[in-house]
Structure 1
Amino acid sequence: MTDWKTSISSSGEDAVIRGEALQNVMDMDFADAIWLLLKGDKPSEAESELFNTILSSSIDHGVGNPSTVSARTVQSGGNEMNTSVAGGILSLGDAHGGAIEECMKILQSEETAEELVDRYLEAGDNIPGIGHKVYDDKDPRAEKILSKAEELGLAGEKVQKMKEIREVFAEKKVPLVMNVDGAISAVMSDLEWDHRLGKGIFIIARTPGLVAHVHEEMDEPDFRREDGEYVGE
């Protein structure tokens, strides 16, 4: 029998979350409770406001992205809510939702902006946190997050490093917008979050959107069939 040990939570009449009585956690804002659960302490008022903005920024972004398409497609096959939402979450990867983790990792490294850009250019890889398929001039979600971070006095060295990465890349190759992943990564790094929680933050934020899309898909005819074109010999 496995003997599980954890410092996260307990159950029963005296249940606690990170040492805080569950009854007290139930009085907290949901974003604050998430912060407590993942980081192990309570956010300040400013941190709470910024974290809430970050979670809300990623709650949904239209029907055409991989996770939403996947969730709705799985639902159209006649599955349950949990299966369909899980299908959407499983579609999250380096190109959709996963960039936050990698971006936080490079921002928290000792490499300078110029060293990072040179390394990615030499490898021919995309730099996480810059560029977007929809936004050319600016990502309004990123702009909002950075603006609030600066307004609350929480924008620090990592936000500056993210801006420098974008500037160096523009000088060496082409100007690209800082996307919402870059803004979230920079701010969460300044708030001293572990980069390994990057994808988890996005999963938590996007799950309500997936639930909403799956719920809507329940009222559509089963088995959505998309047109396809055979191009083989």
Structure 2
Amino acid sequence: MSERKTGRERGEEWWSTDIIEMHPGTIRLRGYEIQDLIGNVSFPAMIWLMLRGELPTEEQAVLLGIALAAAVDHGPQAPSIAIARIAATCGVGINSAMASAVNVLGDVHGGAGEQALEFYGAIAADMDGGASLEDAVRDRLDRFFAETKGYVPGFGHRFHPVDPRAPRLLEITRQYAREGVINGRFAGIAEAIEADIAARKGKTIPMNIDGATAVIYGELGFPPTLTRGLFVLSRSVGILAHAWEQSQKPDRNKGPLPREWLWAYTGAPPRKL
């Protein structure tokens, strides 16, 4: 029978973590002294260390930073950005405006990268089981279109005929694959999906920012769930910028539309009580 643990031991284990060690005068992140990390490790490399437990190579950190930088903002028409700006006009602090915005980054707005990487990963698993790239893509798309009428995650954009961010990210991904930093497998899967969709529909449905960043996060070995978290980190930069900009303006309680544009009322006609 194991010896009963003391109250102190139970307290120390209550929030046990592999991430940080801290006591007066000492801070270690994943075993590294914070003073050694400061000035020597970039922010993307720090994100990698905190999530993965080891430091990335310089090239891996740069590629991660490229993906994060690409998705920081998409304008006030994006719900998260609009919410940050509206919240700022209500007189709340920067943290409240940011939290309000981040809280809407879910399955519909912000989750497509995670969904795209799950889709890529399923195809990669089929290939590991012996299927060719073309067969794996075709079978997964057959299944997808049979089960849903929605869009394939990571492809198509409601504003851009071609999302200007995606081709550049794929170009960089291919460059890093040629240099041996990554193997290029997820880039090949994504491009094969795009080609198969085009053959089915008779027109190209180009990859978007979610599909392209999912390629990079997959190439770097991040699981799908973390892809959404990385998008939240990325978009938080734009959210902060817009919340700060709006907070410097005199607007108060600014709604989603100018006051002369009111909503369409679709309820009961006027009636007496």
* CA distance in 2 between partners of 1:10 and 1:101 (Å): 31
Conservation of the 8 A alpha-carbon contact between 1:139 and 1:180: yes
1:185 to 186, 198, 214: 214
Query: Structure 1: where are the runs of 5+ without partners?
Result: none
* CA distance in 2 between partners of 1:134 and 1:115 (Å): 29
Match of 2:262 in 1: 228
Match of 2:186 in 1: 158
After the TM superposition, which residues 72-91 of structure 1 pair with which residues of structure 2 at under 5 Å, given as runs?
72-91=85-104
Match of 1:23 in 2: 35
Q: Is 1:126 aligned to 2:126, yes or no?
A: no
Query: CA RMSD for the aligned pairs?
Result: 1.7
Relative to the length of structure 2, the TM-score reads: 0.80
- Listed one character per residue, the Cα deviations across residues 104-162 of structure 1 (whole Å, up to 9, x for unaligned) are 112112242112211221121221110111221x3221112111121122351111111
After the TM superposition, which residues 99-114 of structure 1 pair with which residues of structure 2 at under 5 Å, given as runs?
99-109=112-122, 110-111=125-126, 112-114=136-138
Query: Structure 2: where are the runs of 5+ without partners?
Result: 1-10, 127-135, 269-273
The code of the aligned residue for 1:231 comes to: T
The code of the aligned residue for 1:30 comes to: F
Conservation of the 8 A alpha-carbon contact between 1:116 and 1:165: no
* Deviation for aligned residue 1:53: 0.8
Match of 1:215 in 2: 244
Conservation of the 8 A alpha-carbon contact between 1:85 and 1:211: yes
- Listed one character per residue, the Cα deviations across residues 55-77 of structure 1 (whole Å, up to 9, x for unaligned) are 11011122210100011112222
What's the secondary structure of 2:119's corresponding residue? helix
What's the secondary structure of 1:15's corresponding residue? strand
* Deviation for aligned residue 1:203: 0.7
* CA distance in 2 between partners of 1:118 and 1:102 (Å): 17
* CA distance in 2 between partners of 1:200 and 1:79 (Å): 24
Relative to the length of structure 1, the TM-score reads: 0.93
* CA distance in 2 between partners of 1:24 and 1:145 (Å): 32
Between 183-192 and 111-120, report the one with greater CA deviation: 111-120
* CA distance in 2 between partners of 1:119 and 1:22 (Å): 49
Conservation of the 8 A alpha-carbon contact between 1:146 and 1:155: no
* CA distance in 1 between partners of 2:223 and 2:31 (Å): 20
Identity of aligned residues (%): 28
- Listed one character per residue, the Cα deviations across residues 150-200 of structure 1 (whole Å, up to 9, x for unaligned) are 112235111111111111111122421100111111121122111110110
The code of the aligned residue for 1:115 comes to: D
* CA distance in 2 between partners of 1:25 and 1:194 (Å): 25
Q: How many residues align?
A: 232
* CA distance in 2 between partners of 1:20 and 1:104 (Å): 31
* Deviation for aligned residue 1:89: 0.5
The code of the aligned residue for 1:49 comes to: V
Match of 1:8 in 2: 19
Match of 1:93 in 2: 106
Structure exhibiting the larger radius of gyration computed from Cα positions: 2
* CA distance in 2 between partners of 1:140 and 1:33 (Å): 28
* CA distance in 2 between partners of 1:141 and 1:155 (Å): 21
* CA distance in 1 between partners of 2:176 and 2:236 (Å): 27
* CA distance in 2 between partners of 1:34 and 1:183 (Å): 20
Between 166-175 and 47-56, report the one with greater CA deviation: 166-175
The code of the aligned residue for 2:36 comes to: N
* CA distance in 1 between partners of 2:53 and 2:159 (Å): 36
What's the secondary structure of 1:129's corresponding residue? coil
* CA distance in 2 between partners of 1:194 and 1:48 (Å): 16
Q: Is 1:135 aligned to 2:170, yes or no?
A: no
